[in-house]
Structure 1
């Protein structure tokens, strides 16, 4: 009985580690949004600051529940566009450039992977 419990625990560890790694990747993406200086997040035609945008993504993450298993799921379900109107979220940077939030977050996710693989990240998109 004890041996079976130990074996189960050892087999479950990789799954827990993957979940934790995905939670860290998602937290990194939200933090990347929250710390953008001077950016305006456009959601359904209305501009929001970085803190409000990050708070909205956290709220959508809570509502998404078990549908979000990976950082890519987070981008798809919580950070790409409005589930009500279908309108894509965009980010307007201080210099006037506008990018889809999905493109920005995918770029940040690539930076995260490079850092965790021991490579230098790309220059920031903003």
Structure 2
């Protein structure tokens, strides 16, 4: 194979790898968004309470607008789903009377999803 053919093959492999990584990230983030929506928990954001459907919609909006800043679901949690990008205040979630940081809660859900998927 000549140099040009080798370069083309390398670019195809890189492109396919990047596309697969994006697909994996999108799959996991979409799982988390569905998890949030179905949770029935109360989300606390910037001093206001939101039901799970509103919280999922808000996180979907943040992912649509800020998805270019994340390469995987872990970064989605860390960079978009744990705190307000406007105020810097941490998001919290209350499920079954227990309030905790949303990032911690989402990371546990993602870890459980990954264990079930393997």
- TM-score calculated relative to the size of structure 1: 0.82
Gaps of 5+ in 1: 118-126
- State how far apart, in whole Å, the 2-side matches of 1:75 and 1:26 are: 9
Q: Structure 1 residue 65: deviation in Å?
A: 3.6
The corresponding residue for 2:50 is 48
Q: From the two aligned structures, give the one with the greater helix fraction.
A: 2
- State how far apart, in whole Å, the 1-side matches of 2:16 and 2:88 are: 38
The corresponding residue for 1:19 is 22
Alpha carbons of structure 1 residues 65 and 110: separation in structure 2 relative to 1, 3 Å: closer
Q: Structure 1 residue 12: deviation in Å?
A: 2.2
Q: Structure 1 residue 61: deviation in Å?
A: 1.0
- Per-residue CA deviations over 1:88-121 (Å, capped at 9, x if unaligned) read 111111x31111100110001101110121xxxx
Gaps of 5+ in 2: none
The corresponding residue for 1:122 is none
Q: Which moved more, 1:49-58 or 1:14-23?
A: 14-23
- State how far apart, in whole Å, the 2-side matches of 1:25 and 1:116 are: 10
The Cα RMSD (Å) is 1.9
- TM-score calculated relative to the size of structure 2: 0.87
